[in-house]
């Protein structure tokens, strides 16, 4: 499968209509990174910070209207948030 988004900082695939992304510059020691799809990335970051997380990567428009951010949870896990205006959930996902 060919990526739908291919930049030096992110390579995105859409298997079965879902997001699978590779971060070529990521530190493997940080472990796997899961992005949760949200409508408001900045709002999700604020909610996570309020719940005790710390900022890891600020909300950033990475191109094509896709916005991402990451936070570090109190236990050290990294959680990502993504708004992708091109993603449409399949009817069985709603």
Task: Write the DSSP string, 10-72.
Answer: EEEE-GGG--EEE-TT--GGG---EEEE-S-HHHHHHHHHHTT-EEEEEEEEEETTEEEEEEE
pTM of the model: 0.74
7-27 tens-digit pLDDT: 888 888 888 777 788 888 888
Do residues 37 and 29 lie in contact, with contact meaning Cβ atoms separated by under 8 Å?
no
- What are all long-range contacts of 65-73, with beta carbons under 8 Å and residues at least 24 apart? 66/5, 67/41, 68/35, 68/41, 69/41, 69/42, 69/44, 69/45, 70/33, 71/45, 73/48
49-77 tens-digit pLDDT: 999 999 999 999 988 899 999 999 999 88
Closest of 29, 63, 73, 91 to residue 82, by C-alpha = 63
CATH number for position 38: 3.10.180.10
Into how many domains does the chain fold?
Answer: 1
Range of the domain at 15: 5-93
pLDDT of residue 3: 92
29-39 tens-digit pLDDT: 877 788 888 99
């Amino acid at each position: 499968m060919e990526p739908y988004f291919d930049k030096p900082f992110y390579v995105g695939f859409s298997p079965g209509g879902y997001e699978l992304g590779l971060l070529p510059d990521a530190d493997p020691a940080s472990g796997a990174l899961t992005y949760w799809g949200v409508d408001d990335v900045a709002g999700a970051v604020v909610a996570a910070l309020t719940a005790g997380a710390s900022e890891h990567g600020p909300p950033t428009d990475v191109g094509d209207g896709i916005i991402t951010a990451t936070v570090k949870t109190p236990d050290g896990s990294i959680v990502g948030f993504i708004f992708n205006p091109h993603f449409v959930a399949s009817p069985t996902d709603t």
